[in-house]
Amino acid sequence: MPVDIPGLGARNALWLVAQLHLFFAAFVLGAPIFIVISEYLGLRTQDQRYERLAQETMKVVAIAYSLTAIFGVLFAFVLMGPYQPLTNYLFKTLYPLWTLYGLFILLETVCMYLYWYTWGPLSKTPGRKWAHISLGVLLNILGTIVMLLMNAVGGFMNTPPKEIEAASLWEMVNNAAWWPLNLHRFLGNVTFGGFVVALFAAFMFLTSPKEEDRKFYDWMGYIGNLIGVGTLMTMPLAGYILSKELFLYDAQLATFMMADKLSGYFVVQGLLVVLLFLGANFYMWLSMQRIEGGLRFEPHMKAIFAVLLAGGIIWVVPQNFFPDLLAKPPPGVSEQALILPERFAFLGLMVAKALAVTAIIIMTFVTYLLYRRARATGKILWGRIDPMAQYVLIFIPAVAVYLMGLMGAIRELTRMDYHIYGLIKDVTPYWYTVTLGHSSIMVAITTILFFVLQAFIFWVGFVMGKVYE
């Protein structure tokens, strides 16, 4: 290893900057998808709230874009230092891909600034508005291409072609993990974008002194959460497709992920998804209470929450408490005490887990049906929501950001002691799989740093702006 980073260690340093780059990248790629849809809805329905939602979110994106670039550059610096041999190999092997990446980043940046700074001038007539929406669509196309290019590199590191010497560039790009990763990240980015918008709305709701603003941010939080939850429901399937491809590529990965060193990570992943669904349903229930007559659904909601909690426990309960395949029980503890008892062994199987998650998804859908029912029979009093709902909208992004960080760690750690699985060994002092505890701390640090930076963006872009006005 050419150089290390004293104190922090090369892996931790790379982890911090790469993860922060990815958090911001996910937001600036995911949010414009629904920004442009919202702008279109504003034009079509003439409801000004859609236009304002699109414009305010785009303002956050425009500021976040700079931070994405800053962390991207730091990511590259750390790669070029301690991980120089790997960086050289990736640049040499996938050179045309990097050239395209540079080109599309440039085009995306130009398009992003055009989209943001022409918002006013291109909103004056419907014809111009269509031109602006087209610019937004182009921004999304360019952003998606950038994502596809980098997913090819990430996928290549996980599942390079088995006969690498004879592989063409296209075979390296179109590796086993590429399309599943594209699907997973596309949906993940939209979910993430939705939840960050909800976080923004909650922040603004709680800091807005004007009733009119609170009405708007209440509505915005509702829409952000709706987008987040709507796409979240598809994520287990997308995750399953990605895992299946990894398993088909090399069956050893299945054991490593589900029964060995990463099995504990999946227990925490289950917990996080359960918390997301609980939070989303709780928010919907609080939203229902600001509809006239909405309180009448309380008994239904309590039953739904009981099913969600029971499903959540089944999903999270581990088949065993061994951190890896070869671990021994601690002194004085029998092996049997760390495994599910015989008659409840089925709770550790995928059938039980799949049934539990299906029940959770169905119950979430029922909550939305109840909300629609309440809305059909009563008036929504925007801005009159219990402030607790805003704290739920802060809780949900905290869990969503943490989940995204943990899932990223899982995908990276499936490479075991390889930089590029089966091809280039990690010969640095950090070649080994880190414990769940270590990952938990790293993910927590990046999650909190992301929140602090987002809060800074909200404050600089909106709170300070209003003080000045």
Partner 1 sequence: MSDPEKKRSLWQRIKGPVLFAGVSLAVIWGLLPLVPLSWGVHFGVAYLIFFSLAVLSAALFFVLLNWGPIGKPNSPLMTFASILLVYVATVGGLVAFGLWYYPQFEIPKPVVEKEKPEETAAEERGKEVFLSPTVGCFACHSIEALGIRGGTRGPDLSEVGKQAEVRQPGISAEDYLRESIVNPWACFTPLPGGELVECQPTADPAKTYPPLMPPGFGERLSEEQLNNLIAFLKSLKGVP
Q: Is 417 in the site for partner 1 (CB under 8 A)?
A: yes
Total number of residues shown for the chain: 469
Q: Is 311 in the site for partner 1 (CB under 8 A)?
A: no
Closest CA to 455 of 464, 445, 443: 464
Give min distance, CB of 230 to partner 1, in A. Answer: 22
The values of phi and psi at residue 42, to 5°, are -60, -40
Q: Which of 318, 348, 378, 461 binds partner 1 (CB under 8 A)?
A: 318
Q: Is 341 in the site for partner 1 (CB under 8 A)?
A: yes
Give min distance, CB of 119 to partner 1, in A. Answer: 28
Q: Which of 40, 179, 368, 431 binds partner 1 (CB under 8 A)?
A: 431
Q: Is 369 in the site for partner 1 (CB under 8 A)?
A: no
Q: Would you list the DSSP string of 272-299?
A: HHHHHHHHHHHHHHHHHTTBTTGGGGHH
x/- letters, 155..194, toward partner 1 (CB under 8 A): ----------------------------------------
CA distances to 168, 171, 175, 235 from 163, in Å: 10, 10, 12, 32
* Binders of partner 1 in range 320-339 (CB under 8 A): 321-328, 333-334, 336-339
> How far apart, in whole angstroms, are the C-alpha atoms of residue 133 and residue 42?
11
Give min distance, CB of 86 to partner 1, in A. Answer: 16
Q: Is 416 in the site for partner 1 (CB under 8 A)?
A: yes
Is residue 211 classed exposed, middle or buried when 0-12, 13-18 and 19+ CB atoms within 10 A define those classes? exposed
Contact 208, 214 (CB under 8 A): yes
Kindly tell me which of 61 and 278 has the beta carbon lying closer to partner 1: 278
Strand, helix or coil at 291? strand
Give min distance, CB of 377 to partner 1, in A. Answer: 22
Give min distance, CB of 268 to partner 1, in A. Answer: 5
* Binders of partner 1 in range 270-299 (CB under 8 A): 271-272, 278, 282, 285
Q: Which of 432, 460, 464, 465 binds partner 1 (CB under 8 A)?
A: 432
Q: Which of 131, 313, 354, 464 binds partner 1 (CB under 8 A)?
A: 313
Token pair in block for residue 9: 């260690």
DSSP single-letter state for residue 82: T
- Numbers of helices and strands, H then E, in the chain: 16, 2
The secondary structure element, H or E, covering residue 424 is strand 424-425
Kindly tell me which of 293 and 437 has the beta carbon lying closer to partner 1: 437
* Binders of partner 1 in range 387-406 (CB under 8 A): 387-388, 391, 394-395, 398-399, 402
Q: Is 447 in the site for partner 1 (CB under 8 A)?
A: yes
Give min distance, CB of 78 to partner 1, in A. Answer: 18
Contact 314, 347 (CB under 8 A): yes
The stretch near partner 1 (CB under 8 A) out of 34-42, 70-78, 172-180, 311-319 is 311-319
Kindly tell me which of 179 and 368 has the beta carbon lying closer to partner 1: 368
Q: Which residues of 152-179 are buried (b: 16+ CB within 10 A; e: fewer)?
A: bbbbbbbbbbeeeeebeeeebbebbbbb
Q: Which of 73, 134, 386, 456 binds partner 1 (CB under 8 A)?
A: 386
The residue with tokens 């996980």 is 158
Q: Which residues contact 222 (CB under 8 A, 6 or more apart)?
A: 287
Q: Is 342 in the site for partner 1 (CB under 8 A)?
A: yes
* Binders of partner 1 in range 448-467 (CB under 8 A): 448, 451, 455, 463
Strand, helix or coil at 125? coil
Q: Is 54 in the site for partner 1 (CB under 8 A)?
A: no
